[in-house]
Amino acid sequence: MYCSRWLPVVIQLLLWCSTAPVHGIPPRDPVQCNNTSCALYNSYGPWGDRKDCDVKTVAYPTTEEELRSAVAYANKNKLKLKVVSKFSHTIPKLACPPSQNSMLISTAKYDSRIDIDSANLAVTADAGVALRELIDKVEEAGLSLVAAPYWEGVSVAGMITTGAHGSSWWGNGGAAHDHVVGISMIVPANQSEGYAKVIQIGAQDQLLNAAKVSLGTLGVISKVKFSLEKGFKRSITYNFTDDGLIENNFMEHGKKYEFGDITWYPSKHTAVYRYDGRVPVDTPGDGVNDFLGFRSNEIPISQSVRTSEKLFESTKSVNGKCTLAATTLAYKKLIANGLKNNGMIFTGFPVVGRQGKMQTSGSCLYSPAARIDASCAWDPRIKGLFFYESTAIFTVPKFGDFIKDVRKLRDIKPENFCGIDHYNGIMIRYIKASSAYLGQPEDSVVIDFNYYRADDASTPRLNEDVMEEVEQMAFFKYGARPHWAKNRNLAFLNVRSKYPNFNKFIAAKKQLDPENMLSGEWSDEILFGTGNVTSDGCALEGLCICSEDRHCSPSKGYFCKPGLVYTEARVCRYSAPSSSNL
Ligand SMILES: Cc1cc2nc3c(=O)[nH]c(=O)nc-3n(C[C@H](O)[C@H](O)[C@H](O)COP(=O)(O)OP(=O)(O)OC[C@H]3O[C@@H](n4cnc5c(N)ncnc54)[C@H](O)[C@@H]3O)c2cc1C
Ligand SMILES: *[C@@H]1O[C@H](CO)[C@@H](O)[C@H](O)[C@H]1NC(C)=O
Ligand SMILES: *[C@@H]1O[C@H](CO)[C@@H](O)[C@H](O)[C@H]1NC(C)=O
Ligand SMILES: *[C@@H]1O[C@H](CO)[C@@H](O)[C@H](O)[C@H]1NC(C)=O
Ligand SMILES: *[C@@H]1O[C@H](CO)[C@@H](O)[C@H](O)[C@H]1NC(C)=O
Ligand SMILES: *[C@@H]1O[C@H](CO)[C@@H](O)[C@H](O)[C@H]1NC(C)=O
C-alpha cells in the first residue's frame, strides 16, 4: 500500500515489500526422504560446508514415553543420537547426526502439551512446542513470557539449548534460557533401567546450569518449564537518528529501556534506537510487531531482489548495493520496521501492544491454503535470498572500542557497508549475565549482521574483505563469543577458552552422557571449535581464516591480505588486474 504510492515501480521490485497483505507457503519439512534415504537441512537449505547431512533413521515420537524409548533404542544399539525440531532454524550443523551408526529424533510431532500453572506463574511445554503456540496459550491465561528471540520459528527446546535471546539487561534478562526453572531430560541408562531414563532437573539443581544451554549434547530435552509474569503491555518508538555516539550511548540505552536495542546502518551514518519498555495494561493500543524481514514475500519479489544482488555482485557495483540499502532503509523507516498500531497498519509512534504480540514475529511461517505464491524470503525452494549470519557477543567494556574500530573501517569507504545495510545493518542487543555454563558469563552486548552468500562455494562476495575484517575483529581482537546457533565455523575457533565454566559443562556431560552418545563430528566443530580446514577457497565460506592466497580466490582476483584497521586480520581482498591504473 505505502509502497505503490511512494516508490517507483522498479524500486518496489528491489524491496521486501508488496502491495497487498501476503500469506504463503510454509517452510518445507527439514527432513527430506526418498525411497532410499533421508537428509536433514536447515531452513536456508545448505549447511555451512554445503555438504548434505545424511540420516539413516528418523524417529517421530509423540509422547515422553515414545521419546524415552527412542533414546533407549539408540543406546541399546550403540547409535549416536541427535535431535531436531520441526523448524531446524539453527544455522550451524549442530543437529546433524554423525555419518556412521547414528539416528535422528524429530520433535515435530512431540508438540501437544502446554501446561500452565497460573498460581505459580509458570508453564511447562513439550520440547517440540512452537514458541508462538506457547506464547499464545500463556497470553490467553493473562500471563506473559518475558524473553524470547525476535524470530518465532523455533521450538521450546531448540530455543533454550542454543542460548537464543531477544534484548534485555533487566530482571532475568533477554535470553529465553534465563527464564527456565525446570527441565525434564532423557539420558542414557543401563540395561536394568531400560537403557534410557527421564531425569527431572529443578530450579535449585546445579545441573540446570549445564542443561539450560547444552547444544543438544547433554541429553534429550523432553519438557521445559518457564517462569512467567502477569500479562503486560509494551510501548515501542523507533528513533532514526545519527550514528555518531553509539559507543557513548549504548550503556545508558540498555539500562533505560527494558527491551531496547540499536540498529546501526554504517553506510548511511544512521542509528535506530528502539525505545521499548512496559506500560500499564490499561494503556490503549492493540499493536503488533510484524517485522518486515520475517513477513511473507511474493516469490517473484524475493527472486528479483536476489537477481539484482547477483547482478551487483558480478559487476562489482557498490552503488547498486547502496541503492538497495537506501531504499530498504527508507521503507523500513516509513513502516516502522513492521510495527502496526491496530494490527493492520502503522499510523504513528508509539506503538503499544501486548507482550505476546510485540516480542517476536514470523508471519512468513503460516499459510492459509489460499495463497501459494509467497514464502519466507530465504526459502531454499524459490532461489530467493541466501546469506550468512554473524553474531558476536561482547563484554561491555570492550564494546565501545569495537564500535570505534568499525567506524574507522567505515570511514575509509562507507559504501563498503551497503551490502550489510541492505540486510539489517548491525543490530545491537543486550544479554544479561547468566548462570548457564554455556550462557553469557557477564552482562553482554551482542551484534548480528547478515551478508550475501553466493550460490556456489567458489564465488567471492563484493567487499568480502570488509565483512571478514569486522568478523575477525569481533571474535579475535575483542574476544567476542559466537552465538551457538549462528555464525560460520571460524567464529568457533578457540571458543572453549571464552567460557569460564566450559569445564563444568564437560563434567556434567561426562556424568549424564558418559559414552558421548549425543556428540558427533558436526557438533564438535561448534562446541570445541574443531572445524578448521585449509582447503582452496575455505575463507570464502568462513571455514578458515586465510593464510595463503589459495584460501581466497586468486583466479577471481581475491588474495589473502591484512586487515585495514585490524592489521592482524587476514582477509580476502579483491585487487583489480595490474594493467588497470585506477
Ligand atoms: C530467521 C531467523 C531469525 C533468528 N532470530 C534469532 C534471534 O532473534 N535471537 C536468537 O538468539 N536467535 C535467533 N535465531 C536463531 C534461532 O533462535 C536458533 O537457531 C534456535 O535454536 C532455533 O530453534 P529450533 O527449534 O529451530 O532448533 P533446531 O535447529 O531444531 O535445533 C537446535 C539445536 O537444538 C537441539 N535440539 C532441538 N531439540 C532438542 C531436544 N528436544 N533435546 C535436545 N536438543 C534439542 C538440536 O540438536 C540443535 O543442536 C534466528 C534464526 C533464524 C533462522
Ligand atoms: C518408491 O516407493 C514406492 C512405494 O514403495 C514405489 O511405489 C515407488 O515406485 C518408488 N519410487 C522409486 C523412484 O523408486
Ligand atoms: C535420495 O536422497 C539421498 C539423500 O538426500 C540422495 O543422496 C539421493 O541422491 C536420493 N536418491 C534419489 C533417487 O533421488
Ligand atoms: C544401573 O544403574 C543403577 C542406577 O545408577 C545402579 O543402581 C545399578 O547398579 C546399575 N546396574 C548395572 C547392571 O550396572
Ligand atoms: C532521537 O535521538 C536524537 C539524538 O540522540 C535526540 O536528539 C532526539 O530527541 C530523539 N528523538 C526522540 C523522539 O526521542
Ligand atoms: C587452523 O589451521 C591452520 C593450518 O593447519 C593453522 O595454521 C592455524 O593455526 C589453525 N587455526 C586455529 C585457530 O587453530
Which ligand has an atom closest to residue 546 CA?
6
Q: What is the pLDDT at residue 285?
A: 97
**pLDDT score of 371 more than 70:** no
| Ligand 4 pocket list (CB less than 6 A) | 190, 192-193
State the distance from the centre of ligand 1 to the C-alpha of 90, rounded, in angstroms. 4
In ligand 5, the atom with minimum distance to the C-alpha of 242 is 4
Write the single-letter amino acid at 244.
G
State the distance from the centre of ligand 5 to the C-alpha of 241, rounded, in angstroms. 7
Write the single-letter amino acid at 319.
N
| Ligand 5 pocket list (CB less than 6 A) | 239, 241
Q: Per-residue pLDDT tens for 321-368?
A: 999 999 999 999 999 999 999 988 999 999 999 999 999 999 999 865
Preceding omega of 350 cis (within 30 degrees of 0):
yes
Best mutation site among 37, 54, 55 for ligand 3 pocket (most ligand atoms within 8 Å of CB): 37
Residue 453 near residue 258, CB atoms below 8 Å: no
CA distance linking residue 310 with residue 566, whole number of Å:
29
Q: Where are the domains of the chain?
A: 538-581
Judging by DSSP bridges, how do beta strands 387-395 and 481-482 pair with one another? antiparallel
Question: Which pLDDT band holds residue 451 (cuts at 50, 70, 90)?
Answer: very high
Q: What is the pLDDT at residue 206?
A: 98
Which ligand has an atom closest to residue 51 CA?
3
The CA distances from residue 165 to 21, 179, 253, in Å, are 28, 11, 18
Residue 558 near residue 573, CB atoms below 8 Å: yes
Q: What is the pLDDT at residue 370?
A: 54
- Min mean pLDDT across 2-6, 30-34, 426-430, 513-517 is at 2-6
CB 485 less than 6 A from any atom of ligand 1: yes
Which ligand has an atom closest to residue 189 CA?
4
Name the nearest CA neighbour of 44 among 88, 104, 106: 88
The CA distances from residue 400 to 199, 224, 245, 247, 571, in Å, are 43, 36, 10, 4, 23
pTM of the model: 0.94
* Residue-averaged pLDDT of the chain: 94
CB 57 less than 6 A from any atom of ligand 6: no
Residue 70 near residue 77, CB atoms below 8 Å: no
Best mutation site among 488, 492, 528, 532 for ligand 6 pocket (most ligand atoms within 8 Å of CB): 532
3-state DSSP assignment of residue 407: helix
**pLDDT score of 536 more than 50:** yes
Residue 298 near residue 22, CB atoms below 8 Å: yes
**pLDDT score of 124 more than 60:** yes
**pLDDT score of 8 more than 50:** no
**pLDDT score of 16 more than 70:** no
Supply φ then ψ for residue 241, to 5 degrees: -145, -170
Segment holding 450, helix H or strand E: strand 444-452
For 185-210, what is the mean pLDDT? 98
Q: Per-residue pLDDT tens for 210-257?
A: 999 999 999 999 999 999 999 999 999 999 999 999 999 999 999 999
Q: Per-residue pLDDT tens for 459-470?
A: 999 999 999 999
Residue 148 near residue 358, CB atoms below 8 Å: no
Q: Per-residue pLDDT tens for 335-344?
A: 999 999 998 8
Q: Within 13 Å, how many C-alpha atoms sit on residue 157's CB side?
A: 34
Q: Per-residue pLDDT tens for 256-297?
A: 999 999 999 999 999 999 999 999 999 999 999 999 999 998
The CA distances from residue 407 to 261, 268, 269, in Å, are 19, 12, 10
CB 159 less than 6 A from any atom of ligand 1: yes
The CA distances from residue 457 to 175, 452, 454, 461, in Å, are 33, 12, 7, 10
CB 496 less than 6 A from any atom of ligand 6: no
Name the nearest CA neighbour of 358 among 424, 253, 287: 287
